[in-house]
Amino acid sequence: MLIDVRAAERFRGEHEPIDRVAGHVPGAVNAPLAGNTDETSRFRSDAGLRKRFADLGVADGGPVAAYCGSGVTATQTLLALRLAGFGDAALYPGSWSGWITDPSRPVATGD
């Protein structure tokens, strides 16, 4: 399971304000970072986070990794996954900016 935490319009390839290529890693699911927190900018409840990630297909014991644009904000999702009880998740530190440095890597757009 690979989670892209960027805003939905960046994931879909509709708007890319930073990188020269728009889209996402094929097979990734989108879980925008803002969905980890409530209206007061605090993490959602552990149960709320668990439901959020389970609805995306994260499963107990299954491998999961997160990425963003540069590897920084995805770390918050790693903590959210831990709070949700899914244990350790991996960070793809190169993230989207790293993925697109090799033109032979596939790029997906849309949902």
Catalytic residues: 68
Nearest to 56 by CA among 109, 111, 3, 6: 3
Q: How many helices (H) and strands (E) does the chain have?
A: 4, 4
What span, in angstroms and rounded, lies between the C-alpha atoms of 48 and 53?
Answer: 9
CA-based Rg of the chain, rounded to a whole angstrom?
Answer: 13
